[in-house]
Structure 1
Amino acid sequence: MLAKEYFVNLISYKQNLNKIQDLFYPIIMILRQEKEGNFNYRLQDKDVVIQTPEGEELLRIPASVFLSEAEDLLNAINSHDGSFAISRIESFMNRIYCHSLKAKSSDKTDIRIILHDRRTKMNSEMGFSIKSQLGGNSTLLNASKATNFNFKIEGGNFSDEDIARINSLNSKRNKVIERVNAIKNKGGVLVFDKVDNLTFRNNLIMLDGDLPVIISNLLLEQLNTGISTLKELAEKLTETNPLNYDVSQNSPFYVYKIKHLLTSTALGMMPAKAWNGQIDANGGYLVVKKDGEILCYHFYDRNRFEDYLFSNAYLERASTSRHEYASIIKETDGTLSFKLNFQVRLK
């Protein structure tokens, strides 16, 4: 459960959420930005001291009160579904100058912390993205129209009636698969055309010129096999080698490129925003487990951080009604298009 040490230290974990003994990062201060101003939180003896960036003390509360309130909040979250209000917790949050419940959607950083690195003996301000397991699985890459991948339908003979019939297939569980299978049954083949959104396309190409094609193959492989975890899908691509890489030396082309994509997405890159390659959440990830335990995947331990993302990421199908995909579109030149959507979640 939530314990005092979690305000003092961020503890590192392996990819399977097992604690790494004696590897932790002492917290010097937590920094918050609110509409009312900026506030710093630090532990002094047995108290939490809230102060301005200039050092003016605003409030001093026993750390035991924070722990009690955190336990109550955790219990409330675990006993409710959906959105709900807790007036007493809200009153406490207002008291400690905490009004914003989440960061802006355009910002990968949810919390800024000054950490002490015991290896370098230096204090550094780090931005972390927070992922919670208290509700549903958290999203790594959000679905939107920007994450649509366009495919051309080659082969087959599709009348307007055929197109209307396929587009009307509406299985609640497998609508996308049902429509793709109907296309295949008519002799059609999905051939990758482009990433619809120019910004997302450029972001991917900046990371790696082959990523658009690799992702398109991930999407098709998921449809063909039913596999959704990126680790297993990457293994499939390694076997089939759709880009014809020279694998004579067992170079992990697909695994490396997918890991690079996941890491860049986790720390800075967003589909609909032109990215300059700079990392926003330069600290890494904080993962809140269902029992309230807080795990740290620090970017300093990049290999471990990448392994965590790679081992826990999976593809999920987004809403077809919201993002306008999974329907056959007859283009002005007479060609037929079909879109698939790219969304990634973490287990």
Structure 2
Amino acid sequence: MITGNKGEWSEIYALFKLLGDRELHPGDNEINKIQNIVYPILKILRTEINGNFEYSIEDNIVVISGNEVIFRIPITEFKIKAQYLLSEIKTNQGTFALPEIEDFMKSINCLSLKASSSAKTDITIVIHDQRTGLQPSLGFSIKSQLGSPSTLLNASEATNFVYKIVGDSFSEADAEYVNSLYVKRGTKLMRDIKGRTKAIYERNGKLEFVKTQKQIFSNNLILIDSLLPQILASVLLQFTSSNQSNTEDLVKRAEEQNPLNFDTTDKHLFYSYKIKRFLTDSALGMMASKVWTGQYDATGGYLIVKTTGDIVCYHIYNKNEFENYLLSNTKFETASSSKHHFGEVYEKNGQLYFNLNLQIRFKS
């Protein structure tokens, strides 16, 4: 029996829905369809454990071919199954099975919820671009709003940023006070990261960025932009020192404050441009603890399954829309400080330090 959570079942829903609709719409930065741009779908490619399959659309029939096996299924079947599956995803919780959908999946040689792929591509779609006349094959990772929001950049010790505490009057007693600040969440006591950051400044301390905890992450960032470690360190500190968490709001604040003293005479949006590049590379393959070569995975974008069941796409094929979507729909958040070892004043070689952690998640 096949079981999965809302996000996993959303991958099958996307397959059914797109074959039923026979077209794909790009989205704007508010995740709304751009109505005047339509990409007719020619075929969808999916890798299964028993081979590669093509779902080709011919009039009102989906022709499924692979390993010399051919099925012909009416478009209406996919429409009906997509509607039923959407309803079930919305009403179920946790991990669940859907026998009726599983039977239909087997009938079209779809044997698992997640496509068998070593890359991040969940689904590959061949479209007809009416603007260029081309028929590109576009790889997508599927992100569903039907389940819990996923992370764009996962927290780890590699995403820790190291700051030194400067200020002659900041004492060991001040450090002990900062480390005594906790906040209760449910039944657990957690380090009060924002409260501790605030307390450092209230006791005449100041945080100055030194480096990322892991050099590999620093080098990945420098590959994207030579000043990206300092830019992210500044934005991360702004997040920790304020009530703002939306990436777009934090970047706007950075543009206003200009902590790196860029020449803004001609109103260049340095921070927005550089953070967009970082978000795009994070979305398409860059991970903090692995060497980043700048080579995107087979996927080049995201399909968003909205709470309404509509699907919109963002792809590097349409770079501006993709970047604007990432900037507008992500937020900074505080991960587990005990797990990733940050948020505590510590001493090394006579100098006091304080680490902050970077994690970025999609907004709900």
TM over 0.5: yes
- Counterpart of 1:59 in structure 2 is 71
Provide the rounded CA distance (Å) in 2 between the counterparts of 1:157 and 1:344. 33
Percent identity between matched residues is 45
1:21 aligns to what SS in structure 2?
coil
Shift of 1:105: 9.9
Q: 1:205 aligns with which of 222, 226, 230?
A: 222
Q: 1:10 aligns with which of 5, 19, 24?
A: 24
Deviations 1:136-193 (CA, angstroms, capped at 9, x unpaired): 223222222222212222231125x954871562432882112223333443322211
Counterpart residue identity of residue 289, structure 2: A
Shift of 1:126: 1.4
1:171 has 2:187 as partner: no
1:344 has 2:360 as partner: yes
- Counterpart of 1:38 in structure 2 is 52
Matches within 5 A, 1:158-307: 158-159=172-173, 162-163=175-176, 166=179, 169-172=182-185, 175-280=192-297, 283-307=300-324
Provide the rounded CA distance (Å) in 2 between the counterparts of 1:338 and 1:157. 14
Relative to structure 1, is the Cα distance of residues 100 and 342 closer, same or farther in structure 2, using a 3 angstrom cutoff?
farther
1:50 has 2:64 as partner: yes
Unmatched segments (≥5 aa) in structure 1? none
Say whether the 8 Å CA contact 1:39–1:51 is kept in structure 2: yes
2:38 aligns to what SS in structure 1?
strand
Relative to structure 1, is the Cα distance of residues 85 and 163 closer, same or farther in structure 2, using a 3 angstrom cutoff?
farther
Provide the rounded CA distance (Å) in 1 between the counterparts of 2:247 and 2:85. 33
Shift of 1:84: 2.4
2:47 aligns to what SS in structure 1?
strand
Say whether the 8 Å CA contact 2:20–2:75 is kept in structure 1: no
1:66 aligns to what SS in structure 2?
helix
Counterpart residue identity of residue 202, structure 1: N
Q: 1:149 aligns with which of 161, 165, 168?
A: 161
Q: 1:28 aligns with which of 24, 39, 42?
A: 42
- Counterpart of 1:319 in structure 2 is 336
Matched positions, count = 343
Deviations 1:113-147 (CA, angstroms, capped at 9, x unpaired): 22222222222221112211112223222222222
Counterpart residue identity of residue 139, structure 2: G
Provide the rounded CA distance (Å) in 2 between the counterparts of 1:326 and 1:83. 34
Say whether the 8 Å CA contact 1:158–1:186 is kept in structure 2: no
Say whether the 8 Å CA contact 2:145–2:306 is kept in structure 1: yes
Deviates more, 1:166-175 or 1:262-271: 166-175
Deviations 1:314-336 (CA, angstroms, capped at 9, x unpaired): 111112233222223333x2333
- Counterpart of 1:81 in structure 2 is 93
Shift of 1:294: 0.4
Deviations 1:45-92 (CA, angstroms, capped at 9, x unpaired): 33322211x6x2343333322222222221111112333232332333
Relative to structure 1, is the Cα distance of residues 322 and 293 closer, same or farther in structure 2, using a 3 angstrom cutoff?
same
Say whether the 8 Å CA contact 1:330–1:336 is kept in structure 2: yes
Provide the rounded CA distance (Å) in 1 between the counterparts of 2:345 and 2:99. 49
Shift of 1:4: 6.8
Relative to structure 1, is the Cα distance of residues 165 and 250 closer, same or farther in structure 2, using a 3 angstrom cutoff?
closer
Relative to structure 1, is the Cα distance of residues 31 and 258 closer, same or farther in structure 2, using a 3 angstrom cutoff?
same
Deviations 1:271-307 (CA, angstroms, capped at 9, x unpaired): 2221211222554221110011001223232222222
